[in-house]
Amino acid sequence: MDDFALRHLAVCRRFGDAVAAADGNWQRRSPCEEWDARGVLEHVIGFHDVLLLRPLGLKPERPRDDPQARWRATYAALAAAFDSGRAVRSDAYPLLPNLTRDVLVHTWDLARAVGADDRLDPGWCESFCAGLPPDHDALIASGMFSAPVAVSGEGDPQVRLLALLGRNPFWPNAL
């Protein structure tokens, strides 16, 4: 397994921590205006299905009414795809750094929504900040990100990453 795959699975495990902490709080609003906490989870499951799992012929069995089990099944399928080398050979593999960045940011979204630990690995944040295009209009034009949020000072890597991707790093918990 290469470094991209290892990092993706590590970020997905961190997302799993937020999923575990969300128990009973799935209706809380998230920093993503479109979604509550459950919507964030389903979005992350969905883009893994569409971009990685389905093209590889993998369809995890997921219960409809157990969000945590839904994520565990998704993670298990991802781990199997990477362990076997199938994911590395897929057409979606070049997208993996962007998918990993999205899972990382959605980890923060979910953790903030449910009042869980929202700290992200500073090294991961720094790496993803460095990989962003210098033209913020390109990010906005993708339709996936809002305009960068102005923050005072440089901030830590997590604050910078979130702000550059249109998140308010100081968004209040929904408690």
Tokens found for residue 13 = 């495990």
Q: According to the model, what pLDDT value does residue 75 have?
A: 98
What is the C-alpha separation between 89 and 67, in angstroms, rounded? Answer: 29
For residue 114 the two structure tokens come to 């449910």
Do the Cβ atoms of 173 and 112 come closer than 8 Å?
yes
Question: Distance of alpha carbon 80 from its chain centroid, rounded?
Answer: 19
pLDDT of residue 173: 46
Q: Which amino acid is at 174?
A: A
Residue with the two structure tokens 């050979």 = 89
Residue 142 has pLDDT above 80, yes or no: no
Confidence of residue 14 (pLDDT cuts 50, 70, 90): very high
In this structure, are residues 139 and 128 in contact, taking their beta carbons and an 8 Å threshold? no
Domain-by-domain residue ranges, the chain?
3-164
Residue 151 vs residues 155, 168, 170: alpha-carbon distances, Å: 8, 8, 9
Pair of tokens at residue 78:
């991802």
Neighbouring C-beta atoms of residue 122, cutoff 10 Å: 12
pLDDT of 23 strictly over 80: yes
Determine which of 51-55, 114-118, 153-157 has the lowest per-residue pLDDT on average.
Answer: 153-157
